[in-house]
């Protein structure tokens, strides 16, 4: 990156260029020339969840409940960044609730997962944020969230365990209090 290019680029791109100078003996070679711009664009996308609000994402996709049985959306793909190393983690979320007065459009559950996954995260907090957001909006009789994810910060560095995965859960209302509800949920998600 030339001095003119550095002056035109924002602080984010300048920081990426300085990092490249520390990591690569030829930080101005052709393959790295536009890397600061590409990295900024990518990280703005990876962290777009900060610009989103779960209440607004759900919007008016609430409907009168005609059931009081469990609603489960399984295998919601998620991608996030570990806040400790900025390394990706990825996996699946399984999200269930037992309606009280309202049900929500099913795609909105996946969108709530995205709101919180697209931030710098730890899996434990991500799991709780999804459950608490749905609990807050829907006022259901219970919410259950299980996330299974693989963390590149464990797979590529540190202990280098490629086959490891992490499972977290957050159980609220009947999912926490009622053993039968909890057992049904965990059986349905394969736990």
Annotated catalytic residues are 82-85, 123, 151, 153
Q: How far apart are CA 179 and CA 166, in angstroms?
A: 23
67 three-class SS: coil
19 sits in which H/E element? helix 11-23
Token pair for 114: 């995205």
Q: Write out the DSSP string of 98-143.
A: E-SSEEE-HHHHHHHHHHHHSSEE-HHHHHHHHHHHHHHHH--SEE
């Amino acid at each position: 990156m030339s001095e003119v290019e550095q002056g035109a680029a924002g602080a984010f791109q300048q920081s990426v260029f300085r990092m490249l100078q520390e990591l690569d003996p030829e930080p101005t070679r052709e393959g790295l020339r536009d890397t600061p711009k590409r990295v900024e664009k990518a990280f703005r996308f990876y962290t777009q969840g900060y610009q989103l609000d779960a209440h607004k994402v759900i919007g008016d996709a609430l409907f009168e409940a005609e059931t009081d049985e469990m609603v489960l959306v399984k295998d919601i793909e998620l991608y996030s960044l570990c806040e400790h190393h900025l390394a990706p983690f990825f996996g699946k979320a399984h999200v269930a609730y037992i309606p009280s007065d309202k049900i929500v459009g099913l795609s909105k559950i996946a969108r709530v997962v995205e709101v919180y996954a697209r931030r710098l995260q730890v899996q434990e907090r991500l799991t709780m944020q999804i459950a608490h957001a749905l609990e807050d909006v829907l006022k259901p009789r219970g919410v259950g969230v299980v996330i299974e994810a693989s963390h590149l910060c464990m797979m590529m560095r540190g202990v280098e365990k490629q086959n490891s995965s992490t499972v977290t859960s957050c159980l609220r209302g009947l999912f926490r209090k009622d053993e039968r509800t909890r057992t049904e949920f965990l059986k349905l998600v394969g736990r």
